[in-house]
Structure 1
Amino acid sequence: MSYPPQHAHPASRTPGGRCPTAPALYGPEPDGDGLPAFYAELRREYGPVAPVTLAPGVSAWLVIGHREVLHVAREEQDFSHDPRRWSLPREGRVLPESPVMPVLGWRPALLYADGQQHRRMRTAVSETIAGLDGHELRRGVRAAAEELIAAFAPRGEADLVAHYAQKLPSRTVVRLLGLDERTGQQLIWAITGTVAANADSANAGRRMSAILAELVADRRRAPGPDLASALLAHPADLSDDEVQHNLAVMFLAGHHTTVNWISATLRVLLCDPAFRSSLTGGHLTVDDALDLVLWRHPPTQHLPARYATRDLVLAGRAVRAGDLLLLGLAGANQDPDVLPENGVPVVGNRSHLSFGAGPHTCPAQDPARLITRTAVDTLHHRIPDLRISVPEPDLPWLRSPWSKGLAALPVRFAPRPSAA
């Protein structure tokens, strides 16, 4: 794809650290509800590429134009996935213990590779995921959903994040890896801490790596019917280190994303009467509902990361070699250039960028959709009288710079026997 020549904006060198006032993606603001206004203000002030900070002193470009996100995602020769190109750590301005490094630090995994090396690992990961039995996965997810619902149904109240959206993907992850319950819970805690981008994220990342390293060593000695064993046996001949870190990437991205997708969909069902009525009345399928949520509330708003391989101009911004760029998926989905005049996406339109784009498009979107669809459909049918128990503006949000998912979704309903 060719990109038309542009002139650099005079204030376009912020990510090199020359302007400390770039808007922040970390901290409590903006929360999930504040993001649309945040993107609109960025678009007015900076256009489709805006300077931001991920943590104190950690600058980046946030790409929020739909066209520009597609360009950055597709042009590997200009925008690499390899964080060893990132100038700030090489200059000693981002230390290994920074809260963003557990996600941005290099690993021998597909998310951090380009070209042939990426294609080799992606083939192994994609074919391993494609080898999952969809019917068996659906049955397992539904059984886990029924069990979770049965646990809170007699109480007449629940937090649909803590008691449902977080636990359902966790149980699926544990089962796919063949882990015992205790080790599986430790892994989920470590994954959650790694993406939180807080003071404990580096420790959480090390705990996650240790659990997965032990798992891979065990499966090398005694293979089983699980994802780690399948990756080890793939003809791409991944090393133990590559299997460990590709598993880390799969579940760092997949678990957190699925939790947020389930939570966001349940919130819209609870808080948007027209949406709920359309789904209940059959005017929307569950898949239509899931796609509308992906347009409005992508599970990952700011996808890390690309690194400029040379000095270039992107949408009027002078990007330097080694600058970090985030794909602003939520901002791109709200780009006025791709939405109808009323700003409402057309049902059935899947041109959103919620799973990324280009060679690194998420390879696990089909199982993520299956898990989310099953979670929403099962709960919607089992407890159709769910109602939110706090004012919607009071819902709390997670503070990660990568995504602003719901931290809690408290609900009430008529108590029913757990076997109902």
Structure 2
Amino acid sequence: MTVPAPDSPAAPAGTPPPGCPMHQGGGAPLFGPAVAADPHGLYARLRERHGPVAPIELEPGVEAWLVIGYPELLELTRNEQLFSKDSRRWRVPAEGRLAADSRLLPMTAWRPTLLNLDGAEHQRLRAAVADTLARIDHRQLRAATETAANSLIDGWGPDGTADLIAQYARRLPLLVFTQLLGLPAEAGPHLIELISHFVDSSEKSVRANAEFQAILVDLVRQRRERPGADLTSWLLAHEAGLSDEEAVHHLVVILVAGNETTINWTGNTLRLLLTDRRFRATLTGGRLSVSDALDEVLWRDPPTQNFPGRWATGDTVLGGQYISAGDMLVLGLAGANADPSVQGAGGVGGNRAHLAWGAGRHVCPAQHPARLIVETAVETLLHRLPDLQLAVPSNELAWRPSPWSRALVELPVLYSAFSPPRPAAPERPTWTPPTVPPPSDSTPSDAISTARTPGSARPGLRSLWSSLAGWWSGR
């Protein structure tokens, strides 16, 4: 597309050229059953018609761009000056075109977290989260995941049926995360119960949301006074100097991102192993491993297929499309992975150059512990139930109608019997990293002493978990 210079008489700043597809309306809807039924077909049609950057509607009358070109998505995520993470730049709500009850609000509302900031303030918060996650002992994490997985399987009973989403993938991550955060073991099932009320929007959701927030606020207070060997203590002790409220916000981010992504990755990997002949032999010892299946899922059915977003800081061109200041761009992670420019004739087996974790400075900092949890969860299940098989034809499996998550509704299976009884489970693994130093009273260095974003000193926590859970689960 030929774009007149922004400062020319024919194209004043902020004015798209004649015929711009998004600004005339008519973008493909990124909502409704079509996204869940055949997302790969949708991305292929968009690529054929519009190229690597396609006009879409996030809901009726709310336009955006879907970036499904691999090099274009890299440019989008690496150019912070042109494409910001700050959703307050979005012109749709500024123009009064976003309804007060829009389902986009939970995923686009600005929050003072590493997900919504650029520059030095983002680096300060990201360093705190990334450094905290890096302190996890992977051997202990694997042991804790295996213990939690076995406890869930033991609870299914001898009838030979299970739903691997509701009874396994959806429960396992929080049982592990409660240990990571320093919560008591019995808090895991309780958190699962609370979250079910949020996601299902039950009559108990308001009370459950308040109780969940109270648990995290109390945890932060306790760990501020009595640090332990857990993620909460490490986050508070980091030289970035997070306030209690910042710590609570980021514990929520860790829980939401880690929980929903791990659920979907586990479910999608189990589906692949049970339905794809290339991987089916894995159940009895084949050429392709569980690790191969994990990578295949990240390429084709990543846990998050699309992710909002970036907002243009000025008029520019990306992938042949004219982007106006304030436009929203959605990261089409699954679509970019399917870009023919990165797909060889034999596929991408074993290659980890996918974009499932994003790219640039905002790449997911939790990918390594997430991989270990999912790999352990899948391997433990296959070891315990080596004759697993689907209880329904594979074409009857349904996907949640979410433009963001790639998530199964359920995964019903059959198995003949449990494996022979296991030895008595060892005591719950404890986290024994180096001693956590107390928070420093010294002035932080310039790299981490940036001024806080205006209005971020006391962020409201009302319905934070509920909103973010709705974002990740696509509800």
What is the percent sequence identity of the aligned residues?
A: 49
- Mapping of residues 316-327 of structure 1, within 5 Å: 316-327=320-331
Q: Is the 8 A contact 2:130 2:365 kept in 1?
A: yes
* Residue identity matched to 1:376: V
- Mapping of residues 280-295 of structure 1, within 5 Å: 280-295=284-299
What secondary structure, in the 3-state scheme, does the structure 2 residue paired with 1:356 have? coil
Extract unaligned runs of 5+ from structure 2.
Answer: 5-15, 423-475
CA RMSD of aligned residues (A): 2.9
Q: In structure 2, which of residues 350, 361, 386 is the aligned counterpart of residue 384 of structure 1?
A: 386
Q: In structure 1, which of residues 25, 28, 32 is the aligned counterpart of residue 30 of structure 2?
A: 25
Q: In structure 2, which of residues 369, 372, 381 is the aligned counterpart of residue 370 of structure 1?
A: 372
Deviation at 1:400, TM superposition (A): 2.4
Aligned CA distance change for structure 1 residues 206 and 109 (closer, same or farther; 3 Å):
farther
- Give CA deviations for 1:373-405 in whole Å, capped at 9, x if unaligned: 001111111111111011112112212221131
Is 2:130 aligned against 1:122?
no
TM-score normalised to structure 2 length = 0.79
CA distance in 1, matches of 2:208, 2:320: 39
Q: In structure 2, which of residues 266, 274, 277 is the aligned counterpart of residue 273 of structure 1?
A: 277
Q: Is the 8 A contact 2:279 2:286 kept in 1?
A: no
Partner of 2:116: 112
Partner of 1:132: 136
What secondary structure, in the 3-state scheme, does the structure 2 residue paired with 1:54 have? strand
* Residue identity matched to 2:28: P
Q: Is the 8 A contact 1:303 1:329 kept in 2?
A: yes
Q: Is the 8 A contact 2:3 2:17 kept in 1?
A: no
CA distance in 2, matches of 1:114, 1:389: 47
- Mapping of residues 146-295 of structure 1, within 5 Å: 146-152=150-156, 154-180=158-184, 184-185=188-189, 187-188=191-192, 211-277=215-281, 280-295=284-299
Instruction: Kindly name which structure, 1 or 2, has the bigger radius of gyration based on alpha carbons.
Output: 2
Aligned CA distance change for structure 1 residues 28 and 340 (closer, same or farther; 3 Å):
same
Partner of 1:359: 361
Q: Is the 8 A contact 1:196 1:400 kept in 2?
A: no
CA distance in 2, matches of 1:196, 1:46: 37
Q: Which moved more, 1:172-181 or 1:314-323?
A: 172-181
- Give CA deviations for 1:342-370 in whole Å, capped at 9, x if unaligned: 5x21x321111111111111110000000
Q: Is the 8 A contact 1:103 1:194 kept in 2?
A: no
Q: In structure 2, which of residues 95, 103, 108 is the aligned counterpart of residue 99 of structure 1?
A: 103
CA distance in 1, matches of 2:263, 2:131: 24
TM-score normalised to structure 1 length = 0.89
Aligned CA distance change for structure 1 residues 181 and 393 (closer, same or farther; 3 Å):
same
Partner of 1:45: 49
Partner of 2:407: 405
Aligned CA distance change for structure 1 residues 226 and 22 (closer, same or farther; 3 Å):
same
* Residue identity matched to 2:354: H
Aligned CA distance change for structure 1 residues 115 and 202 (closer, same or farther; 3 Å):
farther
Partner of 1:330: 334
* Residue identity matched to 1:383: L
Is 2:40 aligned against 1:60?
no
Q: Is the 8 A contact 1:49 1:61 kept in 2?
A: yes
Is 2:85 aligned against 1:81?
yes
Deviation at 1:248, TM superposition (A): 1.9
What secondary structure, in the 3-state scheme, does the structure 1 residue paired with 2:115 have? helix
Is 2:409 aligned against 1:414?
no
Q: Which moved more, 1:251-260 or 1:100-109?
A: 100-109
What secondary structure, in the 3-state scheme, does the structure 2 residue paired with 1:51 have? strand
CA distance in 1, matches of 2:20, 2:209: 33
Aligned CA distance change for structure 1 residues 341 and 273 (closer, same or farther; 3 Å):
closer
What secondary structure, in the 3-state scheme, does the structure 2 residue paired with 1:238 have? coil
Partner of 1:90: 94
CA distance in 1, matches of 2:375, 2:185: 24
- Give CA deviations for 1:304-328 in whole Å, capped at 9, x if unaligned: 2111110111112111111111110
Number of aligned residue pairs: 411
Deviation at 1:25, TM superposition (A): 2.3
What secondary structure, in the 3-state scheme, does the structure 2 residue paired with 1:276 have? helix
CA distance in 1, matches of 2:411, 2:147: 22
CA distance in 2, matches of 1:414, 1:95: 52
Q: Is the 8 A contact 1:299 1:403 kept in 2?
A: yes
* Residue identity matched to 1:408: E
Extract unaligned runs of 5+ from structure 1.
Answer: none
Q: In structure 2, which of residues 20, 24, 27 is the aligned counterpart of residue 12 of structure 1?
A: 20
Partner of 1:349: 351
CA distance in 1, matches of 2:107, 2:117: 14
CA distance in 2, matches of 1:395, 1:116: 45
